[in-house]
Amino acid sequence: MTGTATKPRTDEMAALRQTIEEQRRTIDALVVAAERRTTGEPDSAALATWQRNLTLQRRLIERTERIRNAEQLLRAVIDSIDAGLCILDGDGRIVDTNQVWGTMLDRVHGDRGASSFFELAEGAADGLGELTRAAETDVRHVLENQSSRLTATHQVMTAGGPRWWRMRVDPVRGHGAARAVLTLTDETTAVRTQEELRQATREASQLAVVARLMEDSVVIADADGRIEWVNDAFTRLSGYTRTEATGRLRAELLGADTLPDFDLSAVPVGGSMLLPEFESRTKDGRSCWMRVVLYRTIDDQGVVRLMAVERDITKRYNAEQAQQAAKNRAEALAGELSVEKAVLTGVISTVPHLIYWKDRDGRYVGHNTAFLATRGLPAGSDLTGRTENEIAVPDDLAGLLTDLEARVRDTGEPVVDHHATVTGPDHTVRTVLMSVLPQPAGDGRVGGVIGIGADVTRISALERQLNQANRLEAIGQLAAGIAHEINTPIQFVSDNTRFVEQSFTQLLSVVTQLREPIADLDPDLDLDFLVGEVPTALAESLEGLSRVSQIVRAMKDFSHPGHGRGDVDINRAVESTTQVARNEWKYHAELTLDLGSDVGLVPCYEGELKQVILNLIVNAAHSIEAATPQRGGGLGHITVRTARTSDEVRIVVADDGIGMDQPTQQRIFDPFFTTKEVGKGTGQGLSMAYATIVQKHGGAIHVESRPGAGATFTLSIPTRTKDGVPATA
């Protein structure tokens, strides 16, 4: 609330003061003339009354700032008196008139074209003539520097009826050619004007009381922003007393490093400006958000003053920030749910297994295309709202579903992986693996059921690898569900931890500045330890959450193969991966790279291939670590080799760890199977490796191992994609 003013040169200041003094004398003369015509008193009595009122008014202005507002209202009322003004030169010629003067002459058919007052008086008739001729003597006295008197009120006939007018003559000195001013007033509204003045005075007094007692702080300052007066609310808000604040710049008491930019010169006199909301500090250092409206006023003496109405909006600001944060979180969650819903809908529509769900009454709520195909129904059929009996499909599955659903509704427990052989509408015998899950209702009962089934007819014709592949597929769906359920809470925890980290950084700067007061409050508090360790702990938490997110994404990739297959430099991928895994193997083994120079580029998914190699190297390091007691100490050895044949590239990872027996080798690619202790292994590494190499790349993964003799994993990746396009060597 500061401004700058340019000091004019001495001669310019002197000229300005002279002009202001001349204008003030003229205005005083006009006001005296208006007052005399309004009160209807004789000349001397009116002058004495006006002088007493003016003296009282000036004393009141000196004693209290509040009376200034009342005086401004009074002056505004006087300036708006319905009176005509006419300025004469030394010969009685009309120099200038106001609009009311001409309007009043028109109402009584006066001569607006008269060049002098005497010409006007000579041509005037009826009431106007009497009035002007009565004032003619006073005009001559004033022009001859003699005293004037208050003329009597005269009745004039206007187009709107009879009115009572009065004319007063007052001298004008030191203002060019002007020597006298005539004030023509309509006394009909005098009583009303006096009542309005009294009401305005009462309102001004009431406004002064309001300003003193209002909850918003009010600050009145000079043009430079130095405080002249504050109300009680300012003291409560800022902590500064009126004595402490008076004479100081308002900006000095805000306690803020930066203030909102604003151009004070852009605020017109009598106008206002709403400043941008900003943060300040009270006398005791408390943070406070403020809303400030700045007003620029000017008093009767031409002195510019600033008035600011300040409001403490800290509670509202904090509430808005919290609301915005909650809104952002809700929008983010809604976006995630929308994406996940779209993905889930697409997945359900394209899943080859039959999926359906029903309500409590056994009516279909939804189903996928595979369900219709299995039941022999046309694609696009809608079973919504219909029961099993109403669709009347002649197959064995109808009875099976009815029995399984009845069991789930009676027990409230799911039926999972129920094997059954059914005959379809085309008389084809199929073996299905059916699961029926309950949907809980709010009353604790089963609200509906969800059915998931797979045609596993071909499973009986496949050997162990096909059985293993089907188990991976079924459990992969479970992994996708787990990844889906983990993803949202992990996002919440990550966002909240990141928020705590950012907020603590801001809080840290404040705490550092308040180190001494905090030490005085709690001498045993190790502030340096907290300052040093808490950011590290938060950073490590974020790193851990990032790693969990990576695992979740990997589980999703395992269930839902991604895109992005391209030519990859295998040797470079192996080298970078061994560097990433260095921290895992460097304490337990030496690693040797034997990379074929002709391997070149291979079409594959680079990120997932690197993850497979990383898992194999980490497993090798853990196996060597477990074999340390048998080896008698020392480092083990890991060898990574690459080689290219005519139609594939092989990546071999060998170690001299503890090895595996045959039963273990048959299960190592099962999801969640691990030989490591709880908390060290997830059982996902090799299952993901199998899905990546075999299912996504169309390659193969083999293992050779004996207990105590280490293990050798061989990855075989085709050099051609399914469309037969070879990669550049």
Amino acid (1-letter code) at residue 531 = V
For 674, the domain range is 564-718
CATH number reported for the structural domain that contains residue 374 in this entry: 3.30.450.20
Residues 531 and 599 both lie in one domain: no
Q: Which of residues 513, 535, 557 is at a domain's end?
A: 557
Q: Which of residues 534, 557, 580 is at a domain's end?
A: 557
In a domain, 548, yes or no: yes
Residues 569 and 549 both lie in one domain: no
In a domain, 326, yes or no: no
pLDDT score for 453: 87
In a domain, 476, yes or no: no
Looking at beta carbons, which pairs linking 284-291 to residues 24 or more positions away fall under 8 Å? 284/239, 285/255, 286/239, 287/314, 288/237, 288/312, 288/314, 289/313, 289/314, 289/316, 289/317, 289/318
Q: Is the dihedral of CA 279, 283, 286, 288 positive or negative?
A: negative
Residues 179 and 58 both lie in one domain: yes
Residues 155 and 16 both lie in one domain: yes
In a domain, 425, yes or no: yes
Cα separation of 609 and 577, whole Å? 10
SS3 183: strand
Whole-angstrom Cα Rg for the chain: 48
Residues 553 and 669 both lie in one domain: no
CATH number reported for the structural domain that contains residue 106 in this entry: 3.30.450
Domain count of the chain? Answer: 5
Cα separation of 617 and 653, whole Å? 7
- 0.75 exceeded by the pTM? no
Which helix (H) or strand (E) covers residue 500, if one does?
Answer: helix 464-513
Cα separation of 617 and 651, whole Å? 12
pLDDT score for 652: 92
Instruction: Convert the pLDDT of each residue in 205-223 to its tens digit.
Output: 776 677 777 788 888 888 8
Cα separation of 574 and 579, whole Å? 9
Cβ count within 10 A of residue 480: 17
In a domain, 429, yes or no: yes
Residues 220 and 301 both lie in one domain: yes
Residues 29 and 175 both lie in one domain: yes
**Side-by-side strand order, sheet with 636-644:** 589-595, 636-644, 648-655, 711-718, 700-705
pLDDT score for 681: 58
Find where tokens 């809608």 sit: 382
Residues 96 and 16 both lie in one domain: yes
pLDDT score for 466: 47
Residues 238 and 279 both lie in one domain: yes
Residues 709 and 616 both lie in one domain: yes
In a domain, 3, yes or no: no
Cα separation of 444 and 437, whole Å? 15
pLDDT score for 194: 61
* Strand locations in 124-179 (E): 154-158, 161-171
Q: Which of residues 506, 531, 557 is at a domain's end?
A: 557
Cα separation of 508 and 502, whole Å? 10
In a domain, 658, yes or no: yes
Residues 154 and 49 both lie in one domain: yes
pLDDT score for 639: 92
Distances (CA, A) of 707 to 489, 604, 636, 664, 665: 41, 33, 16, 10, 11
Average pLDDT for consecutive 10-residue bins of the chain (729 residues)? 34 52 59 56 55 60 56 50 78 81 79 82 79 83 78 72 80 79 78 63 69 81 86 87 88 74 77 85 86 82 80 88 91 87 76 85 86 82 86 81 86 85 75 85 78 76 45 56 73 78 76 72 72 78 71 51 69 79 82 88 82 85 84 85 89 88 78 63 68 81 86 87 54
pLDDT score for 77: 47
CATH number reported for the structural domain that contains residue 645 in this entry: 3.30.565.10
- 295's tokens: 């007003």
Distances (CA, A) of 9 to 15, 256, 298, 301, 303: 10, 35, 22, 21, 19
User: Mind giving me the DSSP string for 307-342?
Assistant: EEEEEE-HHHHHHHHHHHHHHHHHHHHHHHHHHHHH
Secondary structure of 520-580 as H, E, C letters: HHCCCCCHHHHHHHHHHHHHHHHHHHHHHHHHHHHHHHHHCCCCCCEEEEHHHHHHHHHHH
Residues 576 and 712 both lie in one domain: yes
Amino acid (1-letter code) at residue 155 = Q
